[in-house]
Structure 1
Amino acid sequence: MNPRIALISATPAAIPPAVSALATGFPQARPWNILDDRLLADVGQDGRTPALDDRMRRLIDYAVAGGADGVLLTCSLYGEVTKQVDAPVPLLAPDEAAFDEALSSGHTRILVVASLASALSDSTARFEQAARDKGITVEVGGLLAPDELVETCRARGDGWDLVLLAQYSLAPAAEELAAALGVPVVSGPRSAAARLKAAIGK
């Protein structure tokens, strides 16, 4: 039986890139979309709350109880919640695999790109922490591209060895961006699909 992969999303925009990445990188997988479109809207100025984390944990429990063979969170803001759950199946934070891929690439000047300021600051801080945790020295930059992603990166993204996309919604532009900049572009959905395939192996 083909493995069921639960995709827990906080915005509808994250769903197509995640489903597309599974279709390409883990075609045996059957995506199961679970959406709570208030998970982002309910985050206030102080960020996530214990109540919101609990809501995400309940969604993870729901996915596991429903027969998921693997669970992927598609909202980077809730990635830390995966550390609070002892799941009986592979459970991935949105950019866990992407961070690992970027840090194991051998590139030392990495540009984090986002379309939202909150996503840029959050992803940049967590990526820098991931590098410190692994004892890897990298120079990390940040670029905010609220629209015209490729054009903005072409104009302001020179001099970097690798681009890390901070949001799932930006993943569809990865190949075009790589061609425009001439450097590798790492996106969460593609890296996560590869990690899930390796972990589940069906």
Structure 2
Amino acid sequence: MSEEDYRIGLIHATVNSVQPILDAFQVHAPQVTLVNFMDESLIFELNETGTVTKNMARRLLNLVEKAVMSGVDGVLLTCSSFTPVVSEISHLFDVPMLSADVSMLEKAVDMGTRIGVIATVEAAGPTTTALLEKIASKRQKDVTFKTVIIPDAFKALQNGDRTKHDKLIHQKVQELANDCDVILFAQFSMARALETLDMTTTPPILTSPEISVKSIVAKISKKEIVI
């Protein structure tokens, strides 16, 4: 099977993650066929509970199962808050599965020792930082983190106020700029803020859509080679 024939299932927990990943596929893998699966109630519940419950994990599992049953060659979860669930359920399926941010986090650890994390969903900040610490420990690298969470930015985006969303993120970027080697945006929905950001005075900023697209396509290709 060639890359042109790949079908990839996208699992969404918020509508705000949809357009950034569709745009990234259009630029970096336009030949891939995408199939979208969504349960937006997951992100609302996550904002209320602050943690991924067993019930939420089961609902994600059901979405992945629907994707796999539809005949996709790989599955990409687009909400970083649910990244820990991937390691718990990926062994249940025969197709490659990738979380929204792991490849980006690995790249961030490779790039520097002072990493800034900006999130707009409460649970995403601690989840991202914990994963970064795990990656750094595995690579025996001493890394420090500065994590900021901007729930008002997520609320603004939910209400259609992109300008406020971007402005709040830009403010935090400038606050972290002098103390970080690299800054990462914890969620797909934040990638849009780069379009309106003056990058001349900031360290490198990583977002997960572009990296995730390349990683899931490579993961599917590798599986084909192994088989």
Cα distance 1:156–1:111, how it changes in 2: closer, same or farther (>3 A)?
closer
Kindly state the Cα deviation for residue 200 of structure 1 after the two structures are TM-superposed: 2.7
Aligned residues: 201
The residue that corresponds to 2:159 in the other structure is none
Mapped contact 2:173–2:202 kept (Cα < 8 A) = no
1:154, 1:20 → 2: CA distance? 26
Say what the alpha-carbon RMSD is for the aligned residues: 2.1
Q: CA deviation at 1:111?
A: 0.5
Which moved further from structure 2: 126-135 or 48-57?
126-135
User: Which of the numbers 42, 45, 49 marks the counterpart of 1:42?
Assistant: 45
**1:153 equivalenced with 2:173 (yes/no):** yes
Point out where structure 2 has 5 or more consecutive residues left out of the alignment.
154-164
Q: In the TM superposition, what are the counterparts of 1:12-91 in structure 2 within 5 Å?
A: 12-43=15-46, 44-45=48-49, 47-85=51-89, 86=91, 87-91=93-97
Residue identity opposite 2:122 in structure 1? A
Per the TM alignment, residue 176 of structure 1 is displaced from its structure 2 partner at its CA by 5.0
* Residue of structure 1 aligned with 2:146, choices 123, 136, 141: 141
Identical amino acids, percent of aligned pairs: 28
Shift of 1:103: 1.7
Q: Cα distance, 1:16 vs. partner?
A: 0.6
The structure in which a higher percent of residues are helix is 2
**CA offset digits 1:34-78 (Å, max 9, x no partner):** 110111223343622212111111111111110111111011121
Distance 1:170 1:83, change over 3 A: same
CA distance in 1, matches of 2:219, 2:32: 12
Task: Tell me by how many angstroms 1:119 deviates.
Answer: 2.2
> What TM-score results when the alignment is normalised by the length of structure 1?
0.89
**Whole-angstrom distance in 2 between the partners of 1:74 and 1:37:** 12
- SS of equivalent to 1:42: helix
Does 165-174 or 136-145 show the bigger shift? 136-145
Whether the 8 Å CA contact 2:81–2:123 is kept in 1: the answer is no
